[in-house]
Homo-oligomer: A and B are copies of this chain.
Amino acid sequence: MMTPDAFEEALRAVGAERYHVHHPFHHLLHSGALSKGQVQAWALNRYCYQAHIPMKDASLLARLDTPALRREWRRRLVDHDGDGEHPGGVERWLALTDGLGLDREAVTSMRLILPATRFAVEAYVRFVRERPVLEAIASSLTEMFSTDIIRSRVSGMLANYDFVSEETLAYFKPRLTQAPADVAFALEHVKRHATTAALQDACLAALRFKCDLLWAQLDALHFAYVAPALPPPGAFRP
C-alpha cells in the first residue's frame, strides 16, 4: 500500500500521461488551427458531456448517506444547474454554442452529436451510478488537471479565433475557482478512504477510466471533423 502522499503522486501521474490536454485535437483547438465549423462540432458535442455532469453528480448524491457528504455534492449541482438567478455551467455552455451561431434546439436536443460522444458520456454516468462511491468520487479527480487546460484554452481561443469572445467563453472562468474547491474535497476524501492497496488501485483505475472517456470524445471529433473528416450519417455537418 502507498502512503497517502505517494498515492496522490500516482493519481497525478495518471493525468500527466492520459489527460486529454495531450490530445492532438486540443492542440489544434487552442492554437487557432480549427475552422469555425470544427469549433462548432466540438462545442455541440461537448454540450452532451456538460448536460450530463449534473446528472452524474445527482446520481452520486443519491447514494451518499450523510448530510455532510450530500451538501458537498449538492454544491456541485449548484455550479452546473445554477440557482435560478445565476446561470450554471449547462446554461453557460449554451452561451458558447449561441456565440458560435449554433441553433439552440439543435444543441439541446443532442440530435446531431456523434454516437461516440453519447456512448462515452453514458459510460461515465453509468460508472458513477453503479461503482462504489469511493471510485465514483475518484473519477471526478480529472479536475486536478483542468485549471491549466482551461487557462490555455481561454487565452488561446481568444487570441486565435475572431468568432469567440470573453462572453462566449463565460463557461470557463467560474470553473477556475470551482474546480479547485471540488478537488480539495475529493482528493482529501479519496486519500483518507482508500485504506488498502486494492482500494488505491481501484481509485487509480477509476481516474484512468475517466481520462479515457474524455480522450475518446476527442478521438471521435478528430476522426469526424479533422482527419479523415468523415462525420457519420445523421451527425452535425459544418
Is B67 a contact of A62 with CB atoms below 8 Å?
no
Is A64 a contact of B58 with CB atoms below 8 Å?
yes
Give residues 45-74 of A contacting B (CB, 8 Å): 54-55, 58-59, 61-62, 64-65, 67-68, 70-71, 74
Task: Please name all residues of chain B whose beta carbon is closer than 8 Å to the beta carbon of A67 when the two chains form the complex.
Answer: 54, 80-82, 88, 90-91
Q: How far is the CA of A29 from the CA of B148 in the complex (A)?
A: 60
Q: What distance in Å separates the Cβ of A171 from its nearest Cβ neighbour in chain B?
A: 14
Q: How many residues of A contact B (CB 8 A)?
A: 24
Name A72's closest neighbour in chain B (CB-CB): B84
Task: Please name all residues of chain B whose beta carbon is closer than 8 Å to the beta carbon of A91 when the two chains form the complex.
Answer: 67
Task: Please name all residues of chain B whose beta carbon is closer than 8 Å to the beta carbon of A54 when the two chains form the complex.
Answer: 67, 70
Q: What distance in Å separates the Cβ of A91 from its nearest Cβ neighbour in chain B?
A: 7
Task: Please name all residues of chain B whose beta carbon is closer than 8 Å to the beta carbon of A65 when the two chains form the complex.
Answer: 55
Task: Tell me which of B58, B61, B74, B90 contacts A78 (CB under 8 A).
Answer: B74
Name A89's closest neighbour in chain B (CB-CB): B67
Interface residues of A (CB under 8 A from B): 54-55, 58-59, 61-62, 64-65, 67-68, 70-71, 74, 77-78, 80-84, 88, 90-91, 129
